[in-house]
A and B are shown apart, each in its own frame.
Chain A
């Protein structure tokens, strides 16, 4: 108990050194463990990026093979995450519990132990965050596709196919002039017979592809929205750190250079906070405007769909209260 109550005996010093040494050894092992996991993440993601194109090339129209392939990659990433959590639970936490029961609160040993635990947890959190970021990045890289030529080709194939459709009764060309996304009755202009036109899988995928293309054309608004949200968070964090350094006088009088700096940050933060939802709104508005350009016959539905979506994302908008 002596050492842990700030004793100065030789035995205390030895115990103190032993504690520091044990913690340092475990932390070094954690660093090495994370480095080894990173090597596996490198292998996992480079394999994913390399093989994905061939999986996609041979896939069905629903992308089921790619879905399984990417799920497997995410499953492996998840297994590494679980392995790390197990290390924290079985290697780090028991050591923390063992010492925290014996060290006096407020002692140097206690403080070293707490900081060590906090550092280990932060390293694990940062590693997980980085893993998620890399998985997202790799997925985006693999799934990135220019939908302009894909959509153009689809429409071209559809219209070419329509030219070949004749009336089942008189054989005249049905002269199809509109996009049918699914089977539909089409009347023959010569003999008035009702034909059932089955437009096939291309037409069934037109709406989905148009949506992807409209999202692609609107992405710059989403990027700007996310950028503004990140800026707002960063400004809020800067304000929080600055607030911690304010003197009592500055707090009470609400004045002084630091307080001025705080107000300046708040003004920028408010601007970012108000612009972020506007940009999100422009993103969705633009998607539906583009969709209507691509598929004009669905304009009425696009408008209703947009209003429904807008009602939902606006429902969850919130603003911070900084109370300056």
Chain B
């Protein structure tokens, strides 16, 4: 990896810096705080960000974006950015811990989020409001599970997919009930 020019830092901002910073930004940390922790001014950060986006677009093998996914999930271990928390606070640590350790809970919230969007709600906000888990934290955990999924058997993966879909349907019914039902609920066979 060290030899690949696609991974060379841009203006001193490494892919790990860029990935961890994006995880933190998605979590509500201000860009100013990121720049300050990295010791750069905003124009340097923005040009480096643009550079990393361009590298990903120019990389036909998707190795940069794939590595970014891994590093995104390791944001909390980043030496300069790991400790940064949004002004609003760290969210619900207990639920976040459960999300990272209980795969079924993660699949349930993934299903609920999809159902929420399909019901016209902001799925990410619904999770934040009901479980205190921000979009950034949720995506970080999602990356961890995706990594783990590589070592799963197809049967295990299928079980999780089915579980998520069953939960999606369950939440879809719940959201529909709260919204007065679906458009074709009264159409009978």
Could you list which residues of chain A lie within 8 angstroms of chain B, going by C-beta atoms? Answer: 29-30, 33, 36-37, 40, 43-44, 64, 68-69, 71-72, 74-76, 78-80, 82-83, 87, 91, 181-185, 196, 198, 301, 304-305, 307-309, 311-312
Please pick, from B49, B50, B57, B115, the residue contacting A305 in the complex, using a CB distance under 8 A.
Answer: B57
Check: B79 CB closer than 8 A to any chain A CB: no
Flag B153-180 by CB within 8 Å of A: 1 or 0 each: 0000000000000000100100010000
Are A304 and B47 in contact (CB-based, < 8 A)?
Answer: no
Chain B residue total in the interface (Cβ 8 A): 28
Are A80 and B58 in contact (CB-based, < 8 A)?
Answer: no
Are B43 and A183 in contact (CB-based, < 8 A)?
Answer: yes
CB distance from B132 to the nearest CB of A (A): 21
Knowing A196-B43, A305-B57 are in contact, say whether A91-B120 is a contact too (CB < 8 A).
Answer: no
Q: Which residue of A lies closest to B176 (CB)?
A: A79
Chain A residue contacts of B47, Cβ below 8 A: 182, 184
Are A75 and B60 in contact (CB-based, < 8 A)?
Answer: no
Are A43 and B183 in contact (CB-based, < 8 A)?
Answer: yes
Are B182 and A182 in contact (CB-based, < 8 A)?
Answer: no
Are A83 and B184 in contact (CB-based, < 8 A)?
Answer: yes
Q: Which are the 6 A-B pairs with shortest beta-carbon distances?
A: A75-B118, A72-B120, A182-B46, A311-B60, A304-B58, A308-B60
Q: Which residue of A lies closest to B175 (CB)?
A: A75
Q: Which residue of A lies closest to B51 (CB)?
A: A301
CB distance from B183 to the nearest CB of A (A): 5
Knowing A68-B122, A308-B59, A311-B60 are in contact, say whether A76-B183 is a contact too (CB < 8 A).
Answer: yes
Check: B135 CB closer than 8 A to any chain A CB: no
Check: B87 CB closer than 8 A to any chain A CB: no
Check: B121 CB closer than 8 A to any chain A CB: yes
Knowing A43-B183, A80-B183, A182-B47 are in contact, say whether A301-B54 is a contact too (CB < 8 A).
Answer: yes
